[in-house]
Amino acid sequence: MKNATKGMNDMKSELKSLLSSVLIVVLVLVMILPQGCASNNGATDDDGDGDGDGDETVAATTKKKIVYPDTIDFDDQDTIIEIFDVSDVLDGVTTTVNKKGKTIIQKGTVGDVSFTFTIGLSKWGGYTTPQQMTVCSKLFWYCYPQMYARLANGGSPKAVMLNFEDEGYEVASTSDNVVHIHDRWLYNNKSDYDCLTHEFAHVISRKSTRLN
């Protein structure tokens, strides 16, 4: 009986690991592929020749380019809200800033489930860049609601906190629904966001009301 239970637990762990890997690949593709693959680059074919050759009216759909600051200045909340815009991943996510607690709080709804994602910077040493943080934010909003829909156990957290902390020795770890990632990990391993999908899978497996 113990062997059967262990086998089931191993199978669940493998499934979560596989799902995390698939989701991170999909997210990276979404973020790096150009928006719109039509041969006329989004132009309206006004002259009917189908070639988008310059005789057409080009739709003004280009999103404002975001200039990422070198640091997070909690006195400049407008900039924080601007750079943490995740509308290219999920519409309707709101961002607020808690200067005293040094947290960035995002709230959004997927289907009929409301989620909260909080980034904690009280122990941030300045190594993880603001741009990398926004990628982590988009990763959460792209992956976590899907993981929740597939793997939630009835008490899985709908609120998750991600702390960037320049302390400890581990790459990342999870306690309840709080994820710790070492501040220097993404600084030294700039593409390893998969460590977060791994930790999000740990969060999903827990039952918690700590931040819900």
pLDDT digits (tens, 9 = 90+) for 28-37: 434 433 333 3
What radius of gyration do the chain's Cα atoms show? 20
CA distance 208 to 198: 18
Q: Is 194 left (phi over 0), alpha (psi -120 to 50) or beta?
A: alpha
Q: Token pair 């991170």 is at which residue?
A: 24
User: pLDDT per residue over 50-66, tens digit each?
Assistant: 444 444 444 444 566 88
Return the closest-CA partner of residue 39 out of 15, 56, 22. 56
| Residue 104 DSSP class | E
Residues 44-50: contacts with CB under 8 Å, at least 24 apart: none
Query: Tokens 């320049």 sit at which residue?
Result: 166
More confident residue, 134 or 44: 134
Q: Indicate the pTM of the whole model.
A: 0.71
Give the CA diameter of the chain: 72
Residue 168 confidence (pLDDT): 83
Alpha helical stretches, state H, 33-164: 77-83, 130-151
Q: What is the mean pLDDT of the chain?
A: 79
Q: In this structure, what DSSP letter does residue 135 have?
A: H
| Sheet bearing 103-110, strands edge to edge | 94-98, 103-110, 113-120, 159-165, 178-182, 172-175
